[in-house]
Structure 1
Amino acid sequence: MKKILEVVGFLLFVWGVAGVLHELTGWFKLWGVVARLDFLDGHELYASIVLAVLGGTLMVTSDRVGRSG
């Protein structure tokens, strides 16, 4: 369970940071997952920030799950 949370958290974090960089600079067009979702038009930056924070939270949570289990 710990490894799954780590991998998912890392992927969400990377996609979130790549989305923020894409919105601010135009780089990472291929990595921007949020930019491809039509229902988030106009809110891509906020959604990318949420993805990065959620990914970081999952990685921290995976460390705590690993210690208690």
Structure 2
Amino acid sequence: MKTFLGFLCFVLLSQGVGGLLYELTDGWFRLWSVVSRTSFFDGYEIYVSVVMIIAGGAMGAASAAVTRRGRV
């Protein structure tokens, strides 16, 4: 469970940061962002990227909590 949460944390954080970099640099980081390629999020890319960063931080905290409780 810890490994899955850690992987999910990495994916969400990297996609969130990549999405913000893509939007703030006018498309230089094209390959990093899945959000920019999805037409469903048109006009809300920055908000979705921020939510992904927050969700990634929450997954990282959950992964740390699983480790502290002694569950593997």
Return the TM-score normalized by structure 1: 0.93
1:4-25 deviation per Cα after TM superposition (whole angstroms, max 9, x unaligned):
1001111110100010011001
Task: Please list, as runs of the form range in 1=range in 2, the aligned pairs for 1:49-60 lying within 5 A after superposition.
Answer: 49-60=50-61
How far residue 28 of structure 1 moved from its aligned partner, in angstroms, is: 1.2
1:11-64 deviation per Cα after TM superposition (whole angstroms, max 9, x unaligned):
110100010011001321011110111111000010011011101110111000
- CA RMSD, aligned part only? 0.8
Q: Are 1:66 and 2:63 an aligned pair?
A: no
Moved segments of 4+, more than 2 Å: none
Give the paired residue count: 69
Residue 47 of structure 2 aligns with an amino acid whose one-letter code is Y
Report the 3-state secondary structure (helix = DSSP H, G, I; strand = E; otherwise coil) of the residue aligned with 1:27: coil
Return the alpha-carbon distance in structure 2 between the equivalents of residues 56 and 28 of structure 1.
22
Return the TM-score normalized by structure 2: 0.90
Residue 64 of structure 1 aligns with an amino acid whose one-letter code is A
Partner of residue 16, structure 1: 16
Aligned-residue identity in percent: 46
